[in-house]
Amino acid sequence: MKTLFTSDYCEGALPRIMQRLQETNMVQTVGYGEDEYCAQARELIRSACGRPDIDVHFLVGGTQTNATVISSILKPYQGVLCASSGHINVHETGAVEHGGHKVLALPSPDGKITAEQIAEAVDGHFSDANHEHMVMPGMVYISFSTESGTIYSRSELEAISKVCRGNNIPLFVDGARLGYGMAASELIEGDKALTLKDFARLADVFYIGGTKQGALFGEAVVITNDALKADFRYCIKQGGGMLAKGRLLGVQFAALFEDGLYLDAARGAVLKAARIRKALEDKHFEFLVDSPTNQVFPILTEEQMAVLDKDFGFEVWHKLPDGRTGVRFCTSWATPDANVDLLVSAIERL
């Protein structure tokens, strides 16, 4: 059996979550997220965000959440601005387009877009004489952390939020890996690290990823902008995201948020990824992208890949013209230190 670093969804769920699901298994509740566990999880998330006024909804997975949120916001002739590498642009089989909307991709070397790019796209649209013949930018989608493992700094995120509000365009943050991103932000920005309170303040909608961060599955959508709140449950149902046993999501997010488990688990994963990165740096490996989160993207030769492939699972990310390959090693809440030890040793032997 290989030790897998292929993704952050190789295992099931944090032990506490499994225990709570077991404990509550035969309790009878109403369905569709209107049960007491969901109510409790909502309150915990509101509290973590420092905002009693926000709406919190639980959906099952990321593609579904993105498609549902985007469809709920855009008018038919509007599209969503995002990085060309954004998950909605590349890896959701066109779910946004299936819902009727164009993804307006902006070039991005590292998974991030800038406030300037957004401003240019919006200004460019409205100043074009033929703008009625073009898709109007109607919202902005960013990922935190991004698909490349990078994160926005506080100042970058503030700037993006400002340009969005200045143009009356909602900002949506895909937080499938929000915890890993926040944990990395702590390491980089210390006291100025981006927290849930910041996302609640700067984004109009964002979600707190569960699937990749210790839950069996589940994403908690937080709507902070009053104008976007109405009727969102209709959208969830229409998009197939209204779990009959919604309690399962409530139980899990309550477990994650009752005492900070969500962020704690993410911190551990980020530190483990840092050990792997350090081992690679010490051997002077190059990286596809400089990622401070739970994903590490070294560039390997064919021989190096073959050696590591004997004992470890990892993902091929991008083949380079020179014959080398950028790969991804991913840690998670579930990665044991022992697995990291094995990988670090193997790297040292390369």
Helix (H, G, I), strand (E, B) or coil at 185: helix
| Min dist. Cβ of residue 307 to a copy of itself (A) | 20
Q: How many residues are listed for the chain in this entry? A: 350
CB of residue 227 to a copy of itself, shortest distance in Å? 13
Q: How far is the CB of 179 from a copy of itself (least distance, A)?
A: 15
Q: How far apart are CA 94 and CA 328, in angstroms?
A: 24
Cβ neighbours around 335 below 10 Å, total = 24
Least distance (Å) between residue 295 CB and a copy of itself: 15
Q: Are 220 and 41 in contact (CB under 8 A)?
A: yes
Residue-wise burial string across 70-91, b where 16 or more C-beta atoms lie within 10 A, e elsewhere: bbbbbeeebbbbbbebbbbbee
Nearer to a copy of itself, 21 or 39 (CB): 21
For a copy of itself, the closer of residues 32 and 287 by Cβ is 32
**Local structure of residue 68 (DSSP, 8 states):** H
In the complex with a copy of itself, which residue's Cβ is closer, 91 or 197? 91
Least CB distance to a copy of itself at residue 85 (A): 12
Cross-strand bridge partners of residue 142: 173
The nearer residue to a copy of itself, 218 or 292, going by C-beta atoms, is 218
Residue 328: phi, psi to the nearest 5? -120, 130
Q: What is the DSSP letter of 298?
A: B
Which lies closer to a copy of itself via its Cβ, residue 50 or residue 109?
109
26's CB contacts (< 8 A; 6+ apart) are none
- Residue 234 vs 290, nearer CB to a copy of itself: 234
Closest distance between a copy of itself and the C-beta of residue 198, in Å? Answer: 26
